[in-house]
Amino acid sequence: MRVNMFRRGLAVLALAAAPLAAPAQDFTPETPECIAPANPGGGWDFTCRQVGKVLQDLGLIPSTMQVVNMSGGGGGVAYAEVVNKRNDDNDLIVAASSATATRLAQNAFPGNTMDQVRWLGSVGADYGVIAVAKDSPVSTLPDLMAQMKADPSSIAIGGGSAVGGWDHLKVLIAAQKAGIADVRSVKYIAFAGGGEAVTQLLAGSLQAFTGDLSEAKGFVESGDIKVLAVLAPERLAGEFAEFPTAREQGIDAIGANWRGFYAPGGMSDAAYDYWVARLDTLYASPEWQAVMEANGLAPLDLQGAEFQAFVADSVGSIESLSREIGILK
């Protein structure tokens, strides 16, 4: 089984961008805030900070976006905070991704469901990568998978999601496609964010890293890590064109991590419309398109009800995949 929802969504959405929504006039946030449900350095932190900066640069919000890092539970601590304590906060948005959908699909946020929040919109999709430290003797994805197949305990792979989370699932999908019969034997170590996982890779505690291109980009540029494979259907453009795909190495693994935002379930309609319109305008701007290109983000342009439906589809598809590989019974 493939995670077809991402490829289907990306292919369709690349062909048709939604028209710009009219800015909402009856609500203005007093203290705009974005929660990144992990420590600094990971994908959620990237999403909050980059979106907040561009919103401010374009004058789409009245003041600086405050970014609050709230790690724990693969996003569960932040989710519970929003649902239980800040359910009617109109100034608050929260970074989300395929990792969020994964945790919801696996019932990993105790007592919480996707319907307890309002889903605002997407700002692109981030393809997964599998990487090693620059001095690793491993040079290709098949080499890594061959070592894992021969002795699963010899390769510890770290990522910024919890066990069973999206970073973990990406490796299991690749392992499955590489012919590893029991993917549950793959040794995955969870960290609070992708940045922490890369730090442990460089310290020698891990043999490989699984994450997203935006998380790995800075470490690639500094020469600290080497990317074995990008989990994209074909090579990316521009500065990322040098990175081989898993598919071209004979391992047909695709892993696209959508990036977007949710808001408190009790947010007013006026505030909801305001944030949906702001994300819509941001996505269409040359400034955000430049951020996407610089960070290897693929097109994914959904807002409001369309995004809500997309997340519901994501949760359903990941639930099926999780059952297939034994994470859910």
CATH number at residue 144: 3.40.190.10
Listed residues 198, 223, 249: the one ending a domain: 249
Q: How confident is the model at residue 13 (pLDDT cuts 50, 70, 90)?
A: very low
- Show the domain range for 91: 4-126+257-324
Residue 61 and residue 85 in one domain: yes
State both tokens at 215. 């998380």
- The pLDDT of 205-217, averaged and rounded, is 91
Listed residues 249, 269, 290: the one ending a domain: 249
> Which of 254, 283, 238 is closest to 17 using CA atoms?
283
Q: Which residue has the higher pLDDT, 202 or 326?
A: 202
Residue 98 and residue 187 in one domain: no
Residue 268 and residue 120 in one domain: yes
Alpha carbons 39 and 154: distance in angstroms, whole number: 28
pLDDT at 2 over 70: no
CATH of the domain at 100: 3.40.190.150
Residue 92 and residue 9 in one domain: yes
Residue 120 and residue 131 in one domain: no
What phi, psi does 107 have (nearest 5°)?
Answer: 55, 35
Please report how the helices 194-203 and 213-221 are oriented relative to each other, as an axis angle in degrees rounded to 10: 40
Q: What pLDDT digit, counting tens, does each position of 41-66 carry? A: 888 999 999 999 999 999 999 999 99
State both tokens at 2. 């493939």
> Which of 94, 65, 91 is closest to 79 using CA atoms?
94
Listed residues 202, 219, 249: the one ending a domain: 249
Structural domain includes residue 329: no
- How many domains does one find in the chain? 2
Q: Name the one residue in this structure whose structure tokens are 């034997």.
A: 185
pLDDT of residue 6: 44
Residue 86 and residue 164 in one domain: no
pLDDT at 10 over 90: no
Pairing of strands 117-133, 297-298: antiparallel
Question: Is pTM beyond 0.85 here?
Answer: no
Considering Cα of 53, then 57, then 62, then 64, what sign does the dihedral take? positive
pLDDT of residue 303: 97
State both tokens at 254. 């695709």
